[in-house]
Amino acid sequence: MRLVLTLLLAGLPLSTAAQSPPPRPQIAATRVEVPPRIDGVLDDPAWDRAPVLSGFIQQLPNEGAPATERTEVRILYDEEHLYIGARCYDSEPDRIIANEMKRDVASISTKDDSFAIVFDTFRDFRNGPMFIVTPKGSMHDLFVTDERQFNWDWSTVWDARTTVDEQGWTVEMVVPLASLRYDLGLAPVWGVNVRRSVLRKGEHTFLTRLPRELGVQAIGRLSAAADLTGLTDLARSRHLELKPFGVVGSSQDPAGGRPDADRFFDRGLDVKYGVTQGLNLDLTYNTDFAQVEADTQQLNLTRFNLFFPEKRDFFLEGRDIYTFGVPRGVATRNPNTTLLFFSRRIGLDRNRAVPLHGGARLTGRAGPYSVGLLNITTGENGSVPTTNFTVARVKRDILQRSNVGAMFTARDSPDADAHRAFGADANVSFGRSVRASGFLARSQAPGVSTGDMSGRAQFAYEGDTWGLEVDHLNVGPNFNPAVGFVRRRDIRANYGGFRYSPRVNRRRIRQVFFTADIDYTTGADRGLQSRSAAFGSSVESSRSDALSVTISRNLERLDAPFTIYRDVTIPLGGYRFTDAAIRLTSGPSRRLAGFVDYSFGSFYAGSRRSVMMNTIMKPTSHLAYSLNYEVNDVRLPSGGFRSHLVGTRIDYAVTTRLFTAGFLQWNSEAELGGVNLRLHYIYKPGSDLYVVYNENRLIGTAAPLVMDRSFVVKLTYLLRL
């Protein structure tokens, strides 16, 4: 108890001075009549008119110290565009880390040196769009919600160019005002912050001072952003976008009863309309996801459901509003997953596509409220009838980085019973590092009147040196949100986690971690089902290389046997087993990055050894080769097996607008092999050409059988009115 009180007090302001931050920096944007040419070279006369922003402050590794490499930023605008120019000086330009050219690379800020800028366009101190550019011109856009959720799948129209020279590198960006939502007041004030990352030094610097415990996500702390002034007489955009698309190709599905190839041509339309400056209405007709990459194969050695992430653009954009309970992106090590809304329930049946006739989505903000309303109708597909899905979500901002909300989901079909689910949730932050969250939800289905509720309560302290998390999840035996995801039912899961992570900052060692995690799960009758205690330690370098060791002690009680692999079954009963794991990680900014993990120990009544490898090699900024490999050697009284999962991928960026990729997979347990080939050309911002080939084969036969195969060409065109 004393430790909990200490951590609580550490996260709260301790004095009046702590509650009175220094005045915000004032930054003025300069209006121009002749805009700069966006070519990555800061030689246009327009840039000379803008005041220079500099004096960046370290957040990592030495909080509050001056930046070791100078950064200069200028901001211009005209009636329709916002322009950002930056000179990123570097004393060792030949050591600039620039491995990527591809658009929308995941976690790019940990892989390349980068320049990032975020705007708080409504000055609500919690939400805003963010834009990232690397020295080789890789671009990424995302949206910050509640200062801590980062939607990396958010996308809008903008452009950037870069140049690397003997002084470092430069970047020029242009963001159409039609790509942003903002207050049309007479003298609007936006929030703005800028981050410069120099990865060889592990250095992240900002316009304003930010605490190091926030890591690279500190840029989301919009309550600490500077004030951006001078943006007057901005254009009032109609915010109407039309994106028609056409699809041509062929497909065959022998496993689904279509052995012959069928040629097809299809078309559709996506519409985006700004109902207000904060609310967007999206309409989609004959929705198509032909360009979506295939799912990564997984091996299930548990008796619970696997979780596959959403990859379809329509459901990824704006998905933060539909997050229920613990916010998406918030660190939690609790292994139990319960989602009131899971978008893969729409348009997919046992991982096979179901046609989407059309739908509508309203998302955005209205004052202190965040609103999400989704309605989609899917067509028939074999045994799957026409189905309508509805999701309604509202959140109300309270305090700072806090909110309360409610959600409703429904699935209706003329050939099946209606299913409903609804709930309320809250997320509350105290000071810099303390948060509490929870939800209470219920599902409704015909014939079910009891055991249909779920609830969760979580508390966490997230400091740089100390961390603590406690979590309780209750899931009734009949809780079944038809548009959601539940990993385990009829449980009371309790979790506790503790972290001690002092910063060393010497001899290339940045930080040391010591962790302890306990997971204790019972049934509704309070009978023990699972228990796990894990203790770990790791050492991390300034380049994010790491060595970690974890030891776990587990208990599982099975009330029924379950098949773990083909004809290998684990009988009912109680099992105690211990395992250990060693992981070696090469930091993501290196040419050869990834990790190798070796684990071994007892497993139920037998033993298990496994090797997992996830590596990526980047010999040039154009080419990346990755290999994912997992082998499990399991020995049990009922039999033994060795399973293999292999995934290999080659990405080649011809330019920053033209990309190719090849992805091959093999799953020995499912005896399934797959190939996905993809070409993506951005022929103008917001408009794309895709060429995609997919094939899956059953490998465990003398002649591998084609399960399904498709070849698709898709063209989209963005028209802004």
List, for residues 230-284, the tens digit of each pLDDT value. Answer: 998 887 666 899 999 999 999 888 876 777 778 989 999 999 998 888 889 999 9
Closest CA to 376 of 284, 460, 442, 439: 284
The length of the chain, given as a count of residues: 721
Percent of the chain with pLDDT over 90: 64
Closest CA to 591 of 138, 199, 210: 199
Characterise 107 by phi-psi region: left (phi > 0), alpha (psi -120 to 50), beta (else). left
What per-residue confidence (pLDDT) applies to 701? Answer: 67
Whether 202 contacts 61, CB under 8 Å: yes
What is the enclosing helix (H) or strand (E) of 659?
strand 658-667
On the question of pLDDT at 600 being above 50, the answer is yes
* Lowest-pLDDT choice from 124-133, 287-296, 440-449, 561-570: 287-296
What per-residue confidence (pLDDT) applies to 21? Answer: 54
What per-residue confidence (pLDDT) applies to 372? Answer: 95
What per-residue confidence (pLDDT) applies to 336? Answer: 67
On the question of pLDDT at 348 being above 90, the answer is no
pLDDT tens, 642-685? 999 999 999 999 999 999 999 999 999 888 999 999 999 999 99
Q: How far, in Å, CA of 298 to CA of 311, rounded? A: 16
Confidence at 95, pLDDT banded by 50, 70, 90:
very high
On the question of pLDDT at 567 being above 80, the answer is yes
Q: How far, in Å, CA of 628 to CA of 635, rounded? A: 23
Residues 6+ apart with CB under 8 A from 350: none
Scanning 39-132, the segments in alpha helix (DSSP H) are 45-48
The mean per-residue pLDDT over the stretch 589-612 comes to: 96
DSSP states along 513-552: EEEEEEEEEE-TT--EEEEEEEEEEEEEETTS-EEEEEEE
Burial of 245 (0-12, 13-18, 19+ CB in 10 A): buried
pLDDT tens, 369-391? 999 999 999 988 777 788 999 99
Confidence at 298, pLDDT banded by 50, 70, 90:
confident
Token pair 């090699």: residue: 617
The mean per-residue pLDDT over the stretch 516-540 comes to: 94
Domains of the chain: 19-229 (2.60.40.1190)
Confidence at 114, pLDDT banded by 50, 70, 90:
very high
Residues 6+ apart with CB under 8 A from 388: 375, 376, 377, 378, 410, 411, 412, 413
Average pLDDT, the chain: 89
Q: How far, in Å, CA of 245 to CA of 267, rounded? A: 6
DSSP states along 304-351: S--------HHHHTTGGGG--SSPTT--------EES--GGGSSEETT
What per-residue confidence (pLDDT) applies to 675? Answer: 95
What per-residue confidence (pLDDT) applies to 12? Answer: 42
Confidence at 335, pLDDT banded by 50, 70, 90:
low
Read off the amino acid at residue 186. Answer: L
Residue 403, SS3? Answer: strand
On the question of pLDDT at 47 being above 60, the answer is yes
On the question of pLDDT at 15 being above 60, the answer is no
